Each structure stands twice: as structure tokens, then as C-alpha cells.
Chains A and B, each alone.
Chain A
Amino acid sequence: MRVNNHAPNQNIVEMAQSSSEIRRFPGFLPITILCLVLLYAPLVIVMIYSFNDSRSITLWGGFSLRWYEDVFFGLEAAKFKIAAWNSLSIASMAAITSTVLATSAAVGMIRGGSFRGKPASFALISLPLMVPEIVTAVATLIFFSTIGFTRGYASILVAHIVFCIPFAYLPIAARLDGIESFYEQAALDLYASKAQAFWRILLPLMAPGILSGFLLAFIISLDDFIITNFVKGAGIETLPTAIFGSVKQGIKPNIMALSTLMLLISILLVTVSFFVGKRGNKTGR
């Protein structure tokens, strides 16, 4: 597995070996493994300790599901349920809205030919990615308080839609860029209207990109802490702000169980998005 992966018919003759040897740097494999260990170790540890029976987070007291029970039925269960509902409903609506906007924008950008203001338009669409999150948070808070937009559920939703747009846009635009424009041309030549060409030809072809754009926007919305924390106002929590509030008083085992659940949901969604993207690429060509 280790050495001769990239040269299946590697020769023992020195010249032939050397030319593939030059690609290989000793020590890069251990660093890659270190990189993966660093990335996964904290997550795996929290997963393991979420099954800890002990009330102390330090000592191992045997396997148990009690903290999962605590998440669903314990003292803070009601708070978590409301927070989870807020998070999921906001993420769904923000992802749907931003995906619709991004799909429309992607068709305009990629199929719009070259037009004046195209670079500016691209900069505007990716602006939410470039402005630091904390700055977006401050600006949105100031803006909402100036125009008198009450802070709460609606303000969180609006803020989420804005920063989800580029995340939805990028995979959709990448997908559309790979679809030749003669598909719509052919549809039009066969007397389809533009609407038909879009709904029946282009949209199905774009579907994998749209789905992964939607999923990414959904995860990004679920993930957000800083902007939500600024614009939410008192009396409403999403899962990240609720967890942050709990963690401020120390890491408790039920938080680890809740974190493990959220972690698994994210990984599941990303995996789905990965395989959808992969299948889409195969069928698209």
C-alpha cells in the first residue's frame, strides 16, 4: 500500500525507479497520517466519552447511553428540543431560499455570456465569503437595530440566507459550467419555450449541483454561531448558541452526547453530498 502505489509496473532498473522516486518524499506519509489524526482525534475522543457512564468527564466509568437519554429526556431536554427545532427549520428555509437564488444567479452568470459588470457581480455574490463573519455579524446587528427589525427568528433567518448564497452558488455554478449549452439550444431548436428548456432540460442536468449546493448551505446554516449570536436577540436559541451557553459553565457529558449526534448528522449529510456529486459527474459526461 505504501511505496509502490503510483507505479504499478515499477521497475527495479534504477533509471525507471528514479523517475517515480523523485515524486516521493520520505516523511510525507507520516505527516499525512499525523494530519488525519489531528483532525479526527478530538472528535473521536468526544464520541467515546459521550458513552461514559461516569458523572465526571475525566474518569471512565464504563459504557452507557445515559447521556443520550439525558439529551432527550433530561433537565435541559426541553431547551435542546426548541433549539434543535429552531436550528433545523431555519437551516431548511435558509438553504431552500439561498439555493433558489443561487441557481438563478448561476444561470445568469454562467449562461449570461460576457457582460459588463460580470466580475463585479461575481464579487458581490462571493462577498459573504470574504467579509469576516464577525464583521458581518456586527454590520447586520447595527443594520437591523437601525431599521427597527425586531431581533428574533426572522432576523436569524434573513442573516442566514445571505451568507448561505455563495456556499450554494459555488457547486451549482461549477456543475453548470460543465454542461454544454447545446442541450438548451437543441431544446429551443425543437420549439421548446425558454421555460421548458429550463425546467425540462437544464434543471435536471443541474440537479446534482443543486442538491450539493443545498446540502452545503444547510450545513453552513446549522453550523453558524457568531452571526446567529449577534442577531438572535434574547429569548431564542439555536443549537450552537445553546451549546455555547452550556459550555461556558464547563463541558458536561450531555453536551458531548449532543455534540456526537450533531457531528454524525453533519457527516451523514456531507457523505450524501459527496456521493451525489460523484454520481452526478459520472452521468453528466
Chain B
Amino acid sequence: MATGVKIESGGGSSSVFGSLRYWLLTPSWLVIGFFLVAPVAMMLIYSFLTKEFRGGVIWEFSLAAYDQFIFDRGLFGDEPPKLEWTYIGIFFRSIWQAFSATVLCLLIGFPTAYFIATRPIHTRPIWLFLVTIPYWVNLLIRTVSLKFLIRDSGPLNQWLISFGILDSPIHLINTNVAVQLGLFYSYLPFMVLPIYASVERYNFVLSEAAWDLYANRWTTLRYILLPSVKSGIIAGCILVFVPSLGAFLAPDLLGGAKNFMIGSLIEEQFKGNAGNWPFGAAASMILLTLVLIVLMVYARQQSRTESKYS
């Protein structure tokens, strides 16, 4: 297939740089392979090693890291195993938080994306640009700004009180809601962009046909528009859910110690001497597996819908 002769442009090879492709690609392969794939493999190995008490590992095979994740064997490890809910709980909380943030993003992001996609064509890039600018601002700065805005004595509470809407400040910092808000704020543009792309490709003749058949606006939305732009919505949800799941800054700065998420749990294991490297590696492996499952299900879905329409 690749060697099929093409009679184009004076008998040269069909592509000028085609024969060089492996040379051109090798540098990137090597860099990512050596500094990302190899490290992830190393992390997998570490998750099966024995912890050393000053941080680091002893090269001895052990399932202790995964065991610790699920079971509580008492302080000295000799009691009969009980199910340990702390870490599983942290994972479920993370999934819940990421899910809530995704729903929030969808509720705000879909109407925004739709609105932008129905603007006149020359104003769309400007709207899109407005939505994406905040994404390029440092995430740390954005999270700190949000914290500044919503803290108990922050401008938001001050205004709400001075306008007489509230009597006493609403307490948001160090709650689940603050973390959800932070994640929502961090990844909102990720929801808008893919939905925008699919609404822009949507053929409004379909809506008009529905209208002519006496469907109202909301029926059209429900039965015609939403199914047509489903792929954009799913892509947006994944782009928000995946980074939210492993987020560190929003839960750490807005959530405090009671609202631990996976990211903070992992970070703890590598901080100073108190950490547990194999356990941190195991938690990272579990997170990575979760994310890869989500992405693979998505890829399967995509290729199935593509083959259906082509």
C-alpha cells in the first residue's frame, strides 16, 4: 500500500519528506519514551517495593502499598485485616468532586458554547478568545484569586452583606463546594471548546424541519440538537473530568485538610521524610488506570460512531 507507485510530479516520490518520517519522529519518541514512558514503568515497579522510612524504597518485592490501600492491619501489621475506608473514601470523593465539577461545567458551558456557535461567523473567534483567555492565566494565580474572592471576609461576602442579601458571610472556604467551584473554574473552557466545535458543524436545517413539524424549541433541543452534538458534549465532559480527578491546587488551596482528594494524598507521600513512596506510586498507578479506562472507553466509543457514519 505504502509502496504503490504514484505518477505525480515528474516521477519523484509522492511525498517529499515521507522517506524521512522516522528520522523526523525519532527525537520526540526518544524524549517522551525516556522521560515519560520509562518513568511510568519505573513508578509501576516502585509500587511493588518496600518502603523505607526516610522516604525512598528498599528493593524488595512487596504488595504492602496496595494492601495498605484496601486493608487496615493495625499499627504493627499483625492484626486480622479489616477493610480500610480512608483511601477508598478519598478516591470516591475525588470521583464525586470531579463529577460535580463536570456537571457544573456542562450546565454553564453548553449554553455558552451554543450561544457562541450561533453568533455571526466573524464575531465567533472573539467570543471564543474571551472564553479561553482565563485558561492561559496561571492556574495557581486563578485558584488563589478565587480563594481571595470567596473567603469569609472576601469581597464577595462583603458585597452580599452590604447589599443586604446576606446577614452573615457564607462560609465557602474549606468546604466541598469550594473545591467543586475551583475545579469548575479551572476547567470550564475545556467544556466550551469541543461543544462549540460540534454545534458549529450542526446543520440547523434539521432544527427547522423539526419546527415545521410542530416541535417546539425544547423538544428540538432534546431530540434533535443534543443527539447531534453528543460527541462534543462527551469530549468536553472527559476534558473536564480527567484533569479534575487528579487536581492538586484546587483541593489543596480551597478544600483544606478535610476535603482531601487523590492529588493531595499522592503529594503527601513524597513530602519530606514522613512519606511512603511505594504507597504514593500505587495511588498514582490506580489514578492513572482510572484515567486510562475513561480515555479508552471514550476512544472505543469514538471509533464506533465514526465507523457508523462513514
Count of A-B contacts judged by CB separation below 8 Å: 295
Q: How far, in whole Å, are A39 and B146 apart by their CA atoms in the complex?
A: 10
Q: How far, in whole Å, are A142 and B270 apart by their CA atoms in the complex?
A: 10
Q: Would you give the shortest CB distance from A154 to chain B, in whole angstroms?
A: 12
B193 at the interface (CB under 8 A from A): no
Residues A108 and B42 in contact in the complex (CB < 8 Å), given A25-B217, A40-B134, A45-B148: no
Q: How far, in whole Å, are A185 and B15 apart by their CA atoms in the complex?
A: 8
Instruction: List, in ascending order, chain A residues with CB within 8 A of B31's CB.
Output: 101, 161-162, 165
Q: Are A185 and B12 in contact (CB under 8 A)?
A: yes
Q: Are A130 and B140 in contact (CB under 8 A)?
A: no
Contact residue among B17, B142, B270 (Cβ-Cβ distance under 8 Å from A198): B17
Q: Are B248 and A127 in contact (CB under 8 A)?
A: no
Q: How far, in whole Å, are A142 and B21 apart by their CA atoms in the complex?
A: 33
Q: How far, in whole Å, are A72 and B120 apart by their CA atoms in the complex?
A: 45
B38 at the interface (CB under 8 A from A): yes
Contact residue among A29, A115, A266 (Cβ-Cβ distance under 8 Å from B115): A29
Q: How far, in whole Å, are A269 and B144 apart by their CA atoms in the complex?
A: 21
Q: How far, in whole Å, are A58 and B245 apart by their CA atoms in the complex?
A: 33
Instruction: List, in ascending order, chain B residues with CB within 8 A of A40's CB.
Output: 134
A235 at the interface (CB under 8 A from B): no
A174 at the interface (CB under 8 A from B): no
Residues A269 and B12 in contact in the complex (CB < 8 Å), given A105-B27, A138-B281, A141-B270: no
Q: How far, in whole Å, are A34 and B145 apart by their CA atoms in the complex?
A: 18
Q: Are B21 and A278 in contact (CB under 8 A)?
A: no
Instruction: List, in ascending order, chain B residues with CB within 8 A of A107's CB.
Output: 17, 20, 24
Contact residue among A42, A127, A266 (Cβ-Cβ distance under 8 Å from B32): A127
Q: Are A135 and B114 in contact (CB under 8 A)?
A: no
Residues A251 and B243 in contact in the complex (CB < 8 Å), given A31-B111, A194-B20: no
Residues A108 and B16 in contact in the complex (CB < 8 Å), given A36-B130, A38-B108, A135-B288: no
Q: Would you give the shortest CB distance from A86 to chain B, in whole angstroms?
A: 15
Contact residue among A31, A115, A132 (Cβ-Cβ distance under 8 Å from B288): A132
Q: Are A181 and B119 in contact (CB under 8 A)?
A: no
Chain B window 123-157, contacts with chain A (Cβ cutoff 8 Å), 1 for yes, 0 for no: 10101011111101111111011111100011100
Chain A window 228-257, contacts with chain B (Cβ cutoff 8 Å), 1 for yes, 0 for no: 001000000000100110010001000110
Instruction: List, in ascending order, chain B residues with CB within 8 A of A36's CB.
Output: 130-131
A283 at the interface (CB under 8 A from B): no
Contact residue among B17, B32, B134 (Cβ-Cβ distance under 8 Å from A108): B17
Please classify how large the interface on chain B is, using the bins under 10, 10 to 19, 20 to 34, 35 or more.
35 or more
Q: Are B144 and A243 in contact (CB under 8 A)?
A: yes
A9 at the interface (CB under 8 A from B): no
By beta carbon, the residue of chain A nearest B152 is A58
Q: Are A32 and B140 in contact (CB under 8 A)?
A: no
A148 at the interface (CB under 8 A from B): no
By beta carbon, the residue of chain B nearest A158 is B35
By beta carbon, the residue of chain A nearest B267 is A134
Instruction: List, in ascending order, chain B residues with CB within 8 A of A28's CB.
Output: 111-112, 114-115
Residues from 224 to 265 in B contacting A, C-beta threshold 8 Å: 242-243, 245-246, 248-249, 253, 262-263
Q: How far, in whole Å, are A18 and B207 apart by their CA atoms in the complex?
A: 11
Q: How far, in whole Å, are A29 and B287 apart by their CA atoms in the complex?
A: 38
A279 at the interface (CB under 8 A from B): no
Q: Are A105 and B24 in contact (CB under 8 A)?
A: yes
